[in-house]
Amino acid sequence: MAYQPLPFRAVAANVLLAVENGQSLTQCLPPALNQLPPEQRPQLQAICYGTCRWFHRLEGELNQRLKKPLRKPDRVVHHLMLVALFQLRFSEQATYAVLNETVEACRALDKPHLTGLVNGVLRAAEREGAPEPKDDSSRYSHPVWMVEKLRHNWPDNWQAILDANNRQAPMTLRVNALRFTRDEYLELLAEAGIEANPTRFAPHGIQLERPVPVERLPWFEDGGASVQDEAAQLCTTLLDLQPGQRVLDACAAPGGKTCAILEACGELDEVIAIDESAERLPRVQENLDRLDLHATLTQADAADVDSWWDGAQFDRILLDVPCSATGVIRRHPDIKLLRRESDIVPLASIQLGLLEAMWSILKPGGRLVYATCSVFPQENHRIIQRFLKQQDQARLIEIDADWGQDMNTGRQLLPDPNSHDGFFYAVLEKPEL
């Protein structure tokens, strides 16, 4: 029998099942996209991101509509129905197409015994419309623990954070300052018919009115600009880079900030970029190559200094630690499904360990910038507090900026629906001997 490719809704259901089982969209979407003809790929991507974004809302509805949960081996059909509900509630797709094609996808997934159930649930959903969300987890479409933690951490901002997380992030560029001024690049964009504005806080940032494929960006392949959120770009101003310095980017992949560092100061002595992930490190080299920049790359656990360090201390260290990524949920909505409350304490301990290790290889008079894309103080403010308690000679540098909020140890940016992601920065200096 000829090979029948799966309908894209069935592929989407398999992707969501993989996310529920712990894989990120970045991991499981590319192979899924390859199963489909090119014209269906954008739709698959939109459905997978959208269903993750609204997962907890849709799940709330689906659970109300199902008399009992499906058996574990049929779980993929649960995800298939979430995909269909996403399309009914959040897309322009014609209802009859969603209903008919979802039933067909159910058959293609080899679950013919569930087509009646799928049909019944979706017909009722269409007839009755979306139910009132039963709780804040459904209303804001986030896991219960995240809603509660945000409410506790940000009593005045939690709803705004949850709302911002559900919006699509803008596409923001970092102009390669070694090649173009921001004004020059804005002109190139205008000539290419791409509407854009300078970012408010990052000196080389440009925010596009609408996302475009990178191939449409002027000089992209030749290193004229990179895609990077405005908050992430702020690291270079905080590092206060000067010619001749030896700089370490301790958690570097995929290299957005390594490249920003090299573009911000063309005459650094050396930039060393470390990442422990063999899978992610090559992405740093790809970015460096496209931008025609040079750094020394090392695959290592940065905290295990003896395994990689040559003994020469660093003038500047950027420590962009692994974190909950709760500041970038709008770009990675699968975080809502992947992250567990129990992840935060182990992450905080890794973060403090990395900070202690990096401090030991910072030159007297040198500067360390601690960064996360988290909005939880446990990974931000409190790490710096804990560190300062044990390192009383470490000097906290106040960040004099018009972005974010002052947390006494650093500055916290919350995700802004109109501009930057959620981020935290703290700046520490080691006194001269």
- Closer CB to ligand SAM, 59 or 275, in the complex: 275
Stretch that binds ligand SAM, among 24-32, 67-75, 83-91, 253-261 (CB under 6 A): 253-261
**Looking at 62, 169, 225, 274, which residue binds ligand SAM (CB under 6 A)?**
274
Q: What tokens were used for 424?
A: 């935290």
Burial class (CB in 10 A: 0-12, 13-18, 19+), 307: exposed
* Smallest gap from residue 371 Cβ to ligand SAM (A): 8
Using CB under 6 A as the binding rule, whether residue 251 contacts ligand SAM is answered as yes
Only one of the segments 30-38, 137-145, 157-165, 298-306 lies at the binding site for ligand SAM (rule: CB under 6 A); that segment is 298-306
Buried b (16+ CB within 10 A) or exposed e, 168-204: ebbbbbbbbbebbebeebbebbeeeebebeebebbeb
Nearer to ligand SAM, 48 or 352 (CB): 352
Nearer to ligand SAM by Cβ, of 315 and 320: the residue is 320
Select the residue interacting with ligand SAM from 277, 298, 313, 378 (CB under 6 A): 277
Q: Residue 130 carries which DSSP code?
A: P
Does the protein bind ligand SAM through residue 256 (CB under 6 A)? yes
342-381 binders of ligand SAM (CB under 6 A): 354
Comparing CB distances to ligand SAM, the nearer of 106 and 318 is: 318
Measured from the CB of residue 350, what is the shortest distance to ligand SAM in angstroms? 6
Residue 48 or 357 having the CB closest to ligand SAM: 357
Q: Are strands 362-372 and 314-320 parallel, antiparallel or unpaired?
A: parallel
Which one of 36-44, 54-62, 271-279, 336-344 is the stretch in contact with ligand SAM (CB under 6 A)?
271-279
Half-sphere exposure of 292 (CA within 13 A, CB side): 12
Q: Which stretch binds ligand SAM (CB under 6 A): 44-52, 190-198, 201-209, 299-307?
A: 299-307
> For residue 107, what are the CA distances in angstroms to 25, 77, 86?
25, 10, 20
The answer to whether 314 and 248 are in contact (CB under 8 A) is yes
Report the site for ligand SAM in 154-183 (rule: CB under 6 A).
none
Q: Which is nearer to ligand SAM, 151 or 280 (CB)?
A: 280
Q: Does the annotation mark 373 as catalytic? A: yes
Which strand ranges, in their side-by-side order, compose the sheet holding 172-175? 196-198, 205-208, 172-175, 225-227
Q: Which of 106, 265, 323, 373 is catalytic?
A: 373
Count of residues of this chain found to bind ligand SAM when the rule CB under 6 A is applied: 19
| Interface positions, 23-82, toward ligand SAM (CB under 6 A) | none
Report d(CA 69, CA 306) in Å as an integer: 52
Q: Are 139 and 101 spatial neighbours (Cβ–Cβ below 8 Å)?
A: no
3-state SS class at 149 = helix
Interacting residues with ligand SAM between 322 and 341 (CB under 6 A): 322
**Cα–Cα distance measured from residue 202 to residue 231, given in angstroms and rounded to the nearest whole number:** 8
Euclidean distance between CA atoms 75 and 82, whole angstroms: 11
Structure tokens at 74: 């049929």
Distance CA 331, CA 250 (A): 23
> Is 224 labelled a binding residue?
no
Q: Residue 257, annotated ligand binder?
A: yes
- Hey, what are 414's tokens? 């919350």
Shortest-Cβ-distance residue relative to ligand SAM: 251
Q: Known binder of ligand: residue 402?
A: no
Give the number of other CB atoms < 10 A from CB of residue 100: 13
Backbone angles phi, psi at 385, to 5 degrees: -60, -45
Site for ligand SAM in 195-234 (CB under 6 A): 232
Confirm if 201 and 401 have CB atoms less than 8 A apart: yes
The window from 49-57, 150-158, 254-262, 327-335 that contacts ligand SAM (CB under 6 A) reads 254-262
Task: For residue 248, give the 3-state DSSP assignment.
Answer: strand
Cβ–Cβ < 8 Å for 415, 375: yes
Contact status, residue 53 vs residue 166, Cβ threshold 8 Å: yes
Applying CB under 6 A, among 7, 255, 366, 415 the residue interacting with ligand SAM is 255
CB of 260 to ligand SAM, least distance (A): 8
- Would the annotation count 275 as a binding residue? yes
Known binding-site positions for S-adenosyl-L-methionine: 251-257, 275, 301, 320
Instruction: Give contact residues for ligand SAM (rule: CB under 6 A).
Output: 232, 251-257, 274-277, 280, 301-303, 320, 322, 354
Known binding-site positions: 251-257, 275, 301, 320
Point out the residues that are catalytic. 373
